[in-house]
Chain A
């Protein structure tokens, strides 16, 4: 099918930048070599090219201007939040207009009675939860990057975090989104009523990685803080035992608020960083948080303790107070940063496997790392089978990048072979596009491409992301009408 494509460097960008500057404010439209470097990548480290202009709109109307002017100049638009994405979703391709939402960072309203807040996309995840503290409410998605990542980015990637095990991912916490479409139309998807008319376009939008539109206002569902919370730290002499304990907890019909695993290397790194008193000699530790009403929490904690010990837990430590709980969580959430003490670079993977296959897939992950001679650390959302193998390296070592890449490909492969999927919370972006055809057949990808086309028929928003080239059947095959593919 015909798509208008930006024609790249040949188009003069000066006039575009000037018009964008008039529509926004000259100081909120950046361009030049420095911008290419600053905004040429996100936390994935993937780099594909420069930008025509970097825009910092402050209103929905300004986002509309960015989208319209980009379209008039035949350029694509790439939305970007805080740039913490790990799949290259915000990486510019073909010198697009980059729309950065960081200046749209106001919490517009909080309604504690109906437990809804309207926020702009640039609001930082943790800032929102802090703003809700006086009401005894919080925003449930809590990715490890929550100190930096934005709510708009959470919507784009359908973020998870440790507590999505029982509370659900971002999609379960977004009621409505105001969206600027690729042609500049503004629509509100979803609504505050339980069943807005028509298709769940809101649900289709969440997790679409900036390819369907740009979120400019978001109505999020607020979650009351649990009356009681208990965090248990269990340590094990083998990773297998810890993984088996995870399966044991799930199989016993317990859905904790969070169920996280850290292996020895990452526990040691985190301990050196936060001094939380993690047992650094354990092969693996589990962080299990149960919450709810006081009596139920006590009984659930006792069952977790019992199941853990039955699977070989050496000790079960219960955080004595909120401060200790916060410290233990800090170690878990800053684990990725803590590895800088070991090697300067890392690649963080993200696949999901059936929870019953955890032991076997983890074993394969260690074998893969050994085979490619790379250092692997595992810190992940064990309760929902969401693996995060962290490949740690020094980019200055000759040949290491090839080994890291090969090990990563193998990890994806064993995850899929175990009946798993490509990504649990980071998304596909550029990083995993080439694996999509391993998980989905041509008809599956064609259906996804139709969803995208309905939103953005001209392919103006974040082109080249998520779906591999040729996903729409008509793109690949020029077959006579009526041909059955």
Chain B
């Protein structure tokens, strides 16, 4: 029998036994280690359908972010997924960490339009739909992003693409990042390590030039690239990023995303309190989708 890559993936997952999906192992430690003896699978790779005029792309979850980006670049588009070199589309979605361009481009969860997943019972399930707008039924896609593969295993996705910006420029200086952000109309990212402020501008060439002038007047100069980000991510309300609240909790160094609240730090964030109601809901959700606990056993979604 001729099975599609997606059907073959579902068959590999099967109806029983502990199972996980490996991508590029770039964020493998998020949520803790999977239980010993868990079977490791790979999701199908490859671009299934790229429709530039639709501004969507259907892609196997095992495709690397870099391969997808290269294919989209050829048609002048992109999906802002972030991820380290080698990261896969399914991997970055399952982990759910947004790219540093979140300030302008929004969180990673908003790019997922449709997902073909394999359920804990080994069945192929469709979530969402291929159109850019869709409220047909419950929004499983939102739930899948950041779920660390504990609700279902992502096999294939449809993502919304955007035009590749005409111009892109990094600037840096010692300007106050909060003032900088207020003065600019649409910065793609404002990063700050407590001393230096980095600014990413993206968009029409004329707009990037105009915003650059504002930034230069405030003391920034053009630089070659982004700062190196420390390994751990903190999630804090963006208002708490002010100078006063920067403390030693981040470790030796940190880079904060101003206006977003993600802080890249050299120490991990201590566990955050979770309200009992949310905890109960989370446990019911996981048990409902995976009654036997076979999907990524050991991974903790609340503790990450």
Contacts of A399 in B (CB 8 A): none
Contacts of B278 in A (CB 8 A): 187-189, 198, 201
B126–A440 contact, CB under 8 A? yes
In which size bucket is the chain B interface?
A: 35 or more
A421–B134 contact, CB under 8 A? yes
Closest 7 CB pairs of A and B: A203-B142, A295-B206, A253-B163, A187-B277, A296-B204, A251-B53, A296-B207
B109, chain A: closest CB distance, angstroms: 6
Known: A250-B53, A255-B163. 15 other contacts (CB 8 A): A171-B139, A187-B281, A193-B235, A194-B238, A196-B272, A197-B302, A198-B302, A208-B139, A295-B204, A356-B54, A421-B136, A428-B135, A448-B137, A451-B138, A451-B288
B302–A384 contact, CB under 8 A? no
Nearest residue (CB) in A for B76 is A253
Assess A198 versus B137: contact at CB under 8 Å? Given A255-B162, A295-B210, A443-B124.
no
B223, chain A: closest CB distance, angstroms: 22
A355–B281 contact, CB under 8 A? no
* Bound CA–CA A448/B302 (angstroms): 22
Contacts of B126 in A (CB 8 A): 440-441, 444
Does A185 lie at the interface of the complex (its beta carbon under 8 Å from any beta carbon of B)?
Answer: yes
Does B185 lie at the interface of the complex (its beta carbon under 8 Å from any beta carbon of A)?
Answer: yes
Does A157 lie at the interface of the complex (its beta carbon under 8 Å from any beta carbon of B)?
Answer: yes
Among residues 248 to 304 in chain B, which have CB atoms less than 8 Å away from a CB atom of chain A? 257, 260-262, 272, 274-275, 277-278, 280-282, 284-285, 288-289, 301-304
Q: Which of A122-130, A274-282, A400-408, A453-461 contacts B (4 or more CB under 8 A)?
A: A453-461
B138–A466 contact, CB under 8 A? yes
Does B125 lie at the interface of the complex (its beta carbon under 8 Å from any beta carbon of A)?
Answer: yes
Does A385 lie at the interface of the complex (its beta carbon under 8 Å from any beta carbon of B)?
Answer: yes
Does A427 lie at the interface of the complex (its beta carbon under 8 Å from any beta carbon of B)?
Answer: yes
From B109, B122, B124, B262, contact of A203 by CB (8 A): B109
Q: Measuring CB to CB, which residues of chain A are less than 8 angstroms from any residue of chain B? A: 111, 113-114, 157-158, 160, 164, 168-169, 171-172, 181, 185-189, 191-204, 206-208, 224, 226-227, 247, 250-251, 253-255, 292-296, 299-300, 352-356, 381, 384-386, 419-428, 432, 436, 439-441, 443-448, 450-455, 457, 466-467, 484-485
Using an 8 Å CB-CB cutoff, how does the interface string of B110-135 with A read, 1 for contact, 0 for none?
Answer: 10000000010111111101111111
B265, chain A: closest CB distance, angstroms: 14
* Bound CA–CA A164/B275 (angstroms): 32
**Can you list 19 contacts pairing A with B, beta carbon distance less than 8 Å?**
A158-B135, A194-B98, A194-B235, A194-B261, A195-B96, A199-B143, A199-B147, A203-B109, A208-B138, A247-B53, A295-B210, A299-B206, A386-B133, A421-B134, A421-B136, A423-B136, A441-B126, A448-B137, A484-B121
Contacts of A195 in B (CB 8 A): 96-98, 146, 233, 235, 262
Assess A187 versus B275: contact at CB under 8 Å? Given A295-B204, A440-B126, A452-B138.
yes
A90, chain B: closest CB distance, angstroms: 15
Does B67 lie at the interface of the complex (its beta carbon under 8 Å from any beta carbon of A)?
Answer: no
B130–A419 contact, CB under 8 A? yes
* Bound CA–CA A164/B15 (angstroms): 40
B136–A295 contact, CB under 8 A? no
Q: Measuring CB to CB, which residues of chain B are less than 8 angstroms from any residue of chain A? A: 15, 51-56, 76-77, 96-98, 102, 106-107, 109-110, 119, 121-127, 129-140, 142-143, 145-147, 151-152, 162-164, 185-186, 203-204, 206-207, 209-211, 233, 235-239, 257, 260-262, 272, 274-275, 277-278, 280-282, 284-285, 288-289, 301-304
Contacts of A292 in B (CB 8 A): 185-186, 203-204, 207
Contacts of A114 in B (CB 8 A): 237-239
* Bound CA–CA A485/B123 (angstroms): 9
B237–A384 contact, CB under 8 A? no
A447–B131 contact, CB under 8 A? no
Contacts of A432 in B (CB 8 A): 136
A439–B129 contact, CB under 8 A? yes
A199–B131 contact, CB under 8 A? no
* Bound CA–CA A354/B57 (angstroms): 12
Nearest residue (CB) in B for A484 is B15
* Bound CA–CA A196/B237 (angstroms): 10
B106–A168 contact, CB under 8 A? yes
Contacts of A204 in B (CB 8 A): 138-140, 142-143
* Bound CA–CA A335/B186 (angstroms): 33
A305, chain B: closest CB distance, angstroms: 16
A454–B281 contact, CB under 8 A? yes
A263, chain B: closest CB distance, angstroms: 20
Nearest residue (CB) in A for B147 is A199
A422–B206 contact, CB under 8 A? no
Contacts of A113 in B (CB 8 A): 239
* Bound CA–CA A305/B215 (angstroms): 32
Contacts of B54 in A (CB 8 A): 250, 354-356
A200–B143 contact, CB under 8 A? yes
B106–A193 contact, CB under 8 A? no
* Bound CA–CA A436/B126 (angstroms): 13
B302–A294 contact, CB under 8 A? no
* Bound CA–CA A444/B128 (angstroms): 9
* Bound CA–CA A412/B278 (angstroms): 37
Nearest residue (CB) in B for A114 is B239
B237–A293 contact, CB under 8 A? no
Contacts of A164 in B (CB 8 A): 133
Contacts of B97 in A (CB 8 A): 195
B127–A447 contact, CB under 8 A? yes
Contacts of A467 in B (CB 8 A): 137-138
Nearest residue (CB) in B for A251 is B53
B143–A352 contact, CB under 8 A? no
* Bound CA–CA A439/B128 (angstroms): 10
* Bound CA–CA A202/B216 (angstroms): 39
From B96, B138, B261, B284, contact of A193 by CB (8 A): B261
A470, chain B: closest CB distance, angstroms: 15
A423–B125 contact, CB under 8 A? no
User: Which residue, A185, A206, A354, A450, has most C-beta atoms of chain B within 10 A?
Assistant: A450
* Bound CA–CA A295/B106 (angstroms): 23
B163, chain A: closest CB distance, angstroms: 4
B98–A424 contact, CB under 8 A? no
A194–B76 contact, CB under 8 A? no
B272, chain A: closest CB distance, angstroms: 5
* Bound CA–CA A485/B122 (angstroms): 10
* Bound CA–CA A202/B236 (angstroms): 17
B185–A427 contact, CB under 8 A? no
Assess A353 versus B131: contact at CB under 8 Å? Given A198-B301, A436-B137.
yes
B131–A197 contact, CB under 8 A? no
Contacts of B261 in A (CB 8 A): 192-194
User: Which residue, B102, B138, B281, has most C-beta atoms of chain A within 10 A?
Assistant: B138
B133–A169 contact, CB under 8 A? yes
Contacts of B260 in A (CB 8 A): 194
A444–B125 contact, CB under 8 A? yes
A455–B206 contact, CB under 8 A? no
Assess A439 versus B136: contact at CB under 8 Å? Given A250-B55, A447-B125, A454-B281.
yes
B53–A201 contact, CB under 8 A? no
